[in-house]
């Protein structure tokens, strides 16, 4: 038995390390991990929400009841729910599912703390903390990290502005994050000026190679728009196939160098990836008046709010690695990457940005 208290305060990487020691040398001996925790108050505990989303998210496509057993495997560092406890074979490898469940508990269930008047203490907390600590609302808004690249409020405002039915307007660019394997999703973001369409998410099993992935891009593309494709790994094959078919495609190579600066002229960027993230931040900044609209999508919001930055010597912005963000999210930020690619690219149409002298296009 491995029991962890206040699990939301433990980074996902540390939980993974501790989980390794939940074992036994005795054949037939069952093992169990118990996570006790209040809801997370910052991005450190996002992995906990993702791990138990069927129980926590009322909008989940297949919500679970408290105490109901569900079964999961981990493929390519990502959770995948499976129907039952039977072994699963993916790409020739056998996976044995582990059971998982969630049992909610509240202060009223604890006679020891109730006898000390602790409930009154929780009732006196500010609403945001009261929702989490007293009512156990795991999906309540969390406090942003001081160096979070894109503030949560900006993302929420962009999603609140979103209205359906604008797909008929001109498609100005596409962002494509190809699948890295069977359990990964390929994500396509279609941008229409300041309005982003609902994300197209394709199971990796349907696009196992570059030509099939390129075909899905062609199916979604309209108005001869530029297609910005992550060209690392399998993405290079997608780019090649699109080029062969005369598609206007731009390879997105995040570790390439750049001489551009932030719109306020204060910062340089360590690489293109840092520039793209910062440009998306500038685009979503409410002071620009761009009124960018993002499709309501919980994964997209988590992805865009997951990354932090630091300022290196020489006023150079560096964005934390995708690996670090994956450890908090418990999965790859594919949705956020696709939107970031759609929002960038040398040939894509940019919105007006505060302080920018290079870009004067403003799309309503």
Per residue, the 3-state secondary structure of 215-282, as one string, reads HHHHHHCCCCCEEEEECCCCHHHHHHHHHHCCCCEEEECCCCCCCCECCCCCCEECCHHHHHHHHHHH
Identify the pLDDT of residue 146: 81
Same domain, yes or no: 56 and 156 = no
Range of the structural domain that residue 319 is part of:
152-343
Contact 131, 143 (CB under 8 A): no
Q: Are residues 63 and 178 in the same domain?
A: no
In contact, 200 and 342? CB cutoff 8 Å: no
The share of the chain scoring above pLDDT 90, in percent, equals 56
What is the rounded CA–CA span in Å between residue 56 and residue 66? 9
Cα–Cα distance between 220 and 284 in angstroms, integer?
A: 25
Q: pLDDT digit string (tens) for 128-181?
A: 788 888 888 887 656 677 889 999 899 999 999 999 988 888 999 999 999 865
Same domain, 156 and 284: yes
- SS3 of 14, please? helix
In a domain, 233, yes or no: yes
- Are both 192 and 303 inside the same structural domain? yes
Segment 42-53 shows an average pLDDT of 86
pLDDT-based confidence at residue 75 (cuts at 50, 70, 90) = confident
The DSSP string of 181-225 is STTSEEEEEEEETTEEPPPEEEEGGG--SHHHHHHHHHHH--TT-
pLDDT at 363: 33
Domain stop point among 107, 138, 173: 107
Q: What is the pLDDT of residues 81-90, one digit of tens each?
A: 899 999 998 8
Domain membership of residue 287 (yes or no) is yes
CATH of the domain at 276: 3.30.420.240
Q: Is residue 362, in this structure, part of any structural domain at all?
A: no
In a domain, 361, yes or no: no
Helix axes 298-306 and 334-343, enclosed angle (nearest 10): 80
Same-domain status, 54 and 165 = no
pLDDT at 359 over 50: no
Question: How many residues make up the chain in this entry?
Answer: 364
> Is 123 within 8 Å of 96 (Cβ atoms)?
no
Query: Residue written as tokens 């029991």?
Result: 3
Both 167 and 315 in one domain: the answer is yes
Q: No. of H helices and E strands in the chain?
A: 13, 16
| Residue 352 within any structural domain of the chain | no
> Are 210 and 303 in a shared domain?
yes
Last-in-domain residue among 107, 138, 166: 107
Does 270 share its domain with 162? yes
My answer on whether 237 and 334 are in the same domain is yes
Q: For residue 44, is it within any domain? A: yes
Distance linking the first and last C-alpha atoms of the chain: 58
Q: Give phi and psi for 15, each to the nearest 5.
A: -60, -45
| Domain count of the fold of the chain | 2
pLDDT of 349 over the 70 cut: no
- Distance CA(145)–CA(217), nearest Å, equals 35
Q: What is the pLDDT of residue 70?
A: 96
Question: Is 139 within the bounds of a domain?
Answer: no
Token pair in block for residue 111: 């006679």
| Pair of tokens at residue 13 | 């990487």
With a CB cutoff of 8 Å and minimum separation 6, the contacts of 45 are: 7, 8, 9, 10, 37, 39
Is the pLDDT confidence value at 63 over 60? Answer: yes
Indicate the residue among 49, 80, 107 that finishes a domain. Answer: 107
Residue 117: partners with Cβ closer than 8 Å, 6 or more residues away: none
The verdict on 58 and 156 lying in the same domain is no
Q: What is the mean pLDDT of the chain?
A: 87
Q: What is the mean pLDDT of residues 321-328?
A: 80
Residue 37 belongs to some domain of the structure: yes
Same domain, 22 and 171: no
* CA nearest neighbour of 132 among 225, 213, 37: 37
pLDDT more than 70, % of the chain: 91
3-state SS, residue 99? strand
pTM above 0.75, yes or no: no
- pLDDT reported for residue 141: 59
Q: Are residues 58 and 203 in the same domain?
A: no
Task: State the Cα angle at 36 between 34 and 40, rounded to 5°.
Answer: 130
**Cα pseudo-dihedral 37, 40, 45, 51, rounded to 10:** 70
Return the DSSP state at 348.
Answer: S
Q: 231 and 321 in contact (C-beta within 8 Å)?
A: no
8 Å CB contact between 191 and 342: yes
């Amino acid at each position: 038995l491995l029991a962890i208290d206040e699990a939301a305060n433990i980074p996902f990487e540390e939980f993974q390390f501790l989980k390794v020691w939940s074992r036994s040398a005795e054949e037939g001996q069952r093992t169990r991990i118990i996570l006790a925790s209040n809801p997370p108050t910052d991005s450190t505990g996002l992995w906990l929400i993702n791990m138990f989303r069927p129980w926590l998210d009322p909008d989940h496509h297949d919500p679970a009841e408290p105490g109901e057993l569900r079964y999961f495997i981990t493929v390519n560092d990502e959770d995948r729910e499976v129907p039952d406890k039977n072994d699963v074979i993916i790409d020739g490898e056998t996976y044995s599912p582990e059971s998982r469940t969630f049992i909610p508990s509240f202060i009223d269930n604890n006679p020891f703390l109730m006898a000390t008047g602790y409930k009154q203490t929780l009732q006196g907390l500010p609403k945001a903390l009261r929702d989490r600590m007293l009512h156990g609302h795991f999906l309540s808004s969390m406090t942003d990290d001081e160096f979070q690249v894109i503030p949560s409020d900006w993302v929420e405002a962009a999603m609140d502005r979103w209205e359906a039915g604008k797909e008929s307007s001109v498609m100005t660019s596409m962002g494509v994050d190809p699948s890295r394997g069977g359990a990964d999703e390929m994500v396509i973001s279609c941008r229409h000026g300041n309005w982003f369409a609902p994300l197209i998410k394709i199971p990796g099993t349907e696009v196992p190679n570059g030509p099939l992935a390129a075909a899905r891009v062609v199916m979604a593309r309209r108005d001869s728009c530029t297609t910005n494709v992550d060209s690392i790994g399998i993405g290079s094959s997608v780019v090649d196939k699109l080029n062969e078919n005369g598609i206007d495609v731009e390879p997105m190579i995040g570790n390439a160098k750049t001489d551009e600066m932030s719109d306020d002229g204060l910062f340089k960027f360590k690489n293109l990836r840092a520039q793209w993230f910062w440009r998306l931040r500038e685009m979503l900044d409410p002071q620009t008046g761009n009124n960018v609209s993002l499709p309501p999508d919980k994964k997209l919001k988590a992805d865009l709010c997951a990354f932090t930055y630091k300022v290196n010597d020489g006023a150079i912005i560096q964005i934390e690695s995708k690996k670090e963000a994956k450890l908090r999210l418990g999965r790859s930020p594919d949705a956020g990457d696709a939107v970031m690619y759609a929002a960038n690219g040398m040939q894509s149409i940019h919105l007006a940005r505060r302080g920018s002298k290079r870009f004067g296009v403003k799309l309503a």
